[in-house]
A and B are shown apart, each in its own frame.
Chain A
Amino acid sequence: MTKLYRPSSTLSGIRPTRRQLLAGAAVMGGAIATTSFASRPARAAERTKLKLMSWEQFQPGEKEGWNAVIEKFNQSQDKYLVEWTGWPASQYVSNVVIQAQAGGIDADILMAMPDLSAQVIRKFQLAEPLDDVVKALGITPSGGHEFLRKDGKLYGLSAIDVNFALVYNKALFEKAGLKPAATPEDWIDSTAKLTKRPDQFGIALTNVIADSGEWWFQLQNFCLPFDGKWAEGKTPLANSPEVVKGLELWRSLYEAGVPQGTAQSAIMKLAADGRVAQAFGVNPTVVVLRATNPNIYPDLRSAAPPWASRRSLDRIHPLIALKGKNSDGAKAFIQFVMTPEIMADLMITNLYVMPPYDLAAKSEKFRAFLADKPWVTGFNEAKQVSPIDVMGDFAFADDQFGRIIMQNFQSALRPGGSVKTAMDGAQRQLEALATRL
């Protein structure tokens, strides 16, 4: 019988004991672990961490889109690693302002609401210009970016843009034989015709001070129908004829067809139930209505603001590169986000319809996405104005300004109340506020 050659037999004399085997395994395991642990910090150390301060990571329906962008950025290069930081939207501005007042914001990239952006750029002077990013991408930022400019330089690029228009329920308008209004007079008239209290309301307008944030958000637009402004520099214009006429228009709509004294959440439910004919709202209103009642979505349309100038407030929430040792990384991230294909994916995932620049011209995918949204027309027809452009130096005290206007305006909504008298009162309080700005 031929003996088979077994190479292992040469090692047969070196049979390890169980203890040696275990020790060997331990050494090997330790070596593997050491290698992996050693390589991990080395990789992390190579990458510079960039903190992105935002509220978007808490937003259902939007965080997924942003997470995908961050993931793509982190995979696209090996120099930077972007990580979230921040708070939910309700606590965001106060926390960022507290940090800024204490000397600096603990982040490299900041996403901000319009008034917060103005403070960060002009008051705290913590932002880096982004003109080289714009040049590198060859884009033309939308008109709403003007308030982000200082001394000719641009300090932010829109991450989320919401603007106002007339959102209406096509079915209710057709049933009443009406078309969306084009003038303030038509608007009051059609609102009255579309109202059958308490079953149907002609228009949804927030009108209780407990929802003050939302109310001021809408009411701020009502300086525009007659080409007014809330303030010019440090001079408030609350009792100017243009503003008074704008607020009288609001009061007429309120009397004609608003669910009076109803909380904003209940108004949105009424609208989703098809019991409100129109709303003066921002583009995400449509997304919220669709989420609440998908059946109403096919009937939703938008029209430009019903006044000659068609101007409405456009609230850009920009990405800002903060000054500091990582400002180059912050700019690299913003440039990545603004790339047409990345931005188009983000907008499609998150149902954003107002692009930060001429995106439709640069992305076929985005063009196709918009073509499928008949409710976008009115938002695109509206002429964009930044809240900062109508608030003068009060842009830094936007909340307080709004509170004074709303508190006084409420007295005009009571029987026999006068808008002019109410705004005279507001003007006195705002002049006092101006001395403290």
Chain B
Amino acid sequence: MAMASVLTQTTDRPSRTRRARRAGVVGSRAFPYLLILPMLALEAALVVYPILRGALFSLDTPAGLGLDNYRTMLVDPDFWRMIVHTLVFTLSVVVVILAIGLSLSLLMNWSFRGRGVVRSLLTVPWAIPEVPVAITFVLMLDPSFGVFNAFLRFFPGVTENPQWLLDPTLAMLVVIGATVWKGFPFYSLVLLSALQNVPTELYEAAKIDRAGRLAQFRYITLPSIRGTVALLAVLAFIYSTQQFTLIWLITGGGPVDATTTLAPAIYMQAFRFYNFSYAGAIAVVGFGISAVATLCFVLLQRRMETPE
């Protein structure tokens, strides 16, 4: 017994020391920072540095560092037109995608036969890559052979095939439609999971109080999911501000620049016209717009979390 205790003591002492040392590191304040250090290093190298480098690049002028690109941008009517197009596109996408996402999630929240199958089918647009989506839209919208016009001709009064991609207003509607079609499943599924977290007791109590469906939606559903809706609104804002593939492949930013938003404008300036520093200046503005939108969300969320 004594022998055993001696043995235990001798073998235990270093391991206890190690454990204590380890507990010291684990328990220290620096430990969480050590854990996130690799990720921070990656973020710094792959995100922060390129952003700073890009911002610095935007100051590059033939005469050295300066604000010439920003001055040119502010007096460039094309730039302001592009900002208007970006806002029209982005706000339309945010509103429509959330409206469709919410409507579908409400439908999917009902129990009906085959709900699982319908839910799976809903994710299909999200799963298809953007390039085939764009090519398919272009073919379906073809004025001579497109299936869209074939259906449209069934409507009374439609005698000519609309030139979907040659009319500025129609082209904007097309890119908004394609972006919404591609993105709505994500919003709808996230909202569905938020809806399923609303306590059923609230609805039961509302029913006892004889609240109608509209009142239930207004006073129970909407307040319960508003945090998720706000988050999705910011995500939709960023998603549509950065949208490039669908716009570029469907309209190329045309006609008459009508669908040139932030991302295609940056691409064109940098990789088609080789005005890298000017493209950098536009990118800085785009970053600013996204940052302001995110800040608004954080403030809004804090306000909603503050007890009244």
**A residues engaging B (CB < 8 A)?**
94, 97, 101, 197-198, 208-212, 259-263, 266, 397, 399-400, 403, 406-408, 410-411, 413-414, 429, 436
Contacts and interface: CB of A to CB of B under 8 A. Distances in A.
Contact of B254 (A197, A263, A400, A407): A407
Q: What does DSSP make chain A's interface, helix, strand, loop or mixed?
A: helix
Interface centre among B144, B167, B251, B257 (most CB of A within 10 A): B144
Interface string B280-307: 0000000000000000000000000000
B272 A411 contact: no
Main secondary structure of the interface of B (DSSP, over half): loop
Contact of A261 (B164, B257, B271, B274): B164
B179 to A, nearest CB: 15
B155 interface: no
Interface stretch (B39-47, B109-117, B135-143): B135-143
Interface residues of B, number: 30
Contacts of A101: 274, 276
B249 to A, nearest CB: 6
Contacts of B145: 198, 262, 266
Interface in B219-277: 248-257, 268, 271-276
B143 A209 contact: no
A354 B255 CA distance: 35
B166 interface: yes
B11 to A, nearest CB: 47
B193 interface: no
The 6 A-B residue pairs whose C-beta atoms are closest, nearest first, are: A209-B254, A210-B252, A261-B143, A209-B252, A400-B273, A410-B255
Contacts, number: 77
A210 B256 contact: no
B254 A198 contact: no
B60 to A, nearest CB: 11
A214 to B, nearest CB: 11
Contacts of B163: 260-261
B165 interface: yes
29 contacts: A198-B144, A198-B145, A208-B252, A209-B253, A209-B255, A210-B165, A210-B248, A210-B249, A210-B254, A212-B252, A260-B143, A260-B144, A260-B166, A261-B141, A261-B144, A261-B164, A261-B166, A262-B142, A262-B143, A262-B145, A263-B138, A266-B139, A399-B273, A400-B273, A407-B256, A410-B255, A413-B166, A429-B78, A436-B275
A101 B277 CA distance: 13
Contacts of B271: 94
Contacts of B256: 407-408, 410-411
Nearest to A425: B256
Given A209-B252, A261-B166, A399 B272 contact: yes
A400 B144 contact: no
Nearest to A215: B252
Nearest to B76: A432
B265 to A, nearest CB: 11
Given A208-B166, A260-B166, 13 more contacts: A94-B272, A198-B144, A208-B254, A210-B250, A210-B251, A212-B254, A261-B144, A261-B166, A262-B144, A400-B272, A407-B257, A410-B256, A413-B166
B254 A410 contact: yes
A429 B77 CA distance: 10
A400 to B, nearest CB: 4
